[in-house]
C-alpha cells in the first residue's frame, strides 16, 4: 500500500476498541490519518501503522543505508514499533538499492546477522544475512 498525499480529510474519530482496515481514515487530535497496515495502534506521527501527510518529513521516509548504499525499507507488519521504523528487523524486506556499482538488489528478506552482509555474488547471495535475494547484474 502506497499512502496517498491526497487522503480525504473527513473520518470518524479514532477509537481504541475498533478494528480498522487498510486505507481507512480517522481523525485523531485534529489530524487525519490513513491506516497502512490494518493494525489498530494509536495514530501518532511516525507510526508505521498510520500515515498522515501533515507529519511527513525526510526522517519519516522508509529508506535506510545498507552496505553504504540507499535502500527502501519495507517493514513486516509485526515489526510495528515506531522506535524501530528505520531498523532492519527479522522478516523485513529491503529493495531497490545497489550492492555495488554493477549489481542492483531488487528485493531481499532479512533473516539474521549483519545487515550489511548480503553474501557473495558467486553464491547468488545465498550465504549472507538475507534470503529470497532477487538481483540484476
Domain range summary for the chain, segments of one domain joined by +: 12-57, 63-136
5 pLDDT exceeds 50? no
Residue 51: CB atoms within 10 Å? 25
Beta-carbon contacts of 2 under 8 Å, excluding residues fewer than 6 positions away, are: none
Q: pLDDT, tens digit, for every residue of 32-84?
A: 888 888 888 898 877 888 887 665 555 555 788 998 999 988 888 888 777 88
End-to-end CA distance of the chain: 28
Mention the CATH class of domain 12-57.
mainly beta
Beta bridge partners of residue 105, listed in sequence order: 97, 135
Is the pLDDT score of 102 beyond 70?
yes
pTM of the predicted model over 0.85: no
Residues belonging to the chain: 137
Q: Which residue has the cell 544475512?
A: 129
C-alpha grid cell, residue 74: 519495507
Amino acid at each position: 500500500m502506497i499512502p496517498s498525499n491526497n487522503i480525504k480529510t473527513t473520518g470518524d474519530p479514532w477509537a481504541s476498541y475498533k478494528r480498522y482496515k487498510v486505507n481507512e481514515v480517522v481523525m485523531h487530535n485534529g489530524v487525519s490519518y490513513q491506516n497502512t497496515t490494518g493494525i489498530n495502534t494509536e495514530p501518532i506521527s511516525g507510526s508505521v501503522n498510520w500515515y498522515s501527510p501533515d507529519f511527513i518529513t525526510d526522517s519519516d521516509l522508509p529508506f535506510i543505508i545498507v552496505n553504504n548504499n540507499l535502500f527502501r525499507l519495507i517493514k513486516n507488519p509485526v515489526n510495528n514499533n515506531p522506535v524501530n521504523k528505520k531498523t532492519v528487523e527479522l522478516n523485513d524486506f529491503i529493495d531497490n538499492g545497489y550492492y555495488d556499482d554493477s549489481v542492483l538488489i531488487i528485493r531481499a528478506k532479512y533473516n539474521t546477522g549483519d545487515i550489511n552482509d548480503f553474501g557473495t555474488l558467486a553464491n547468488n547471495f545465498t550465504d549472507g544475512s538475507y534470503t529470497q535475494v532477487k538481483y540484476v547484474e
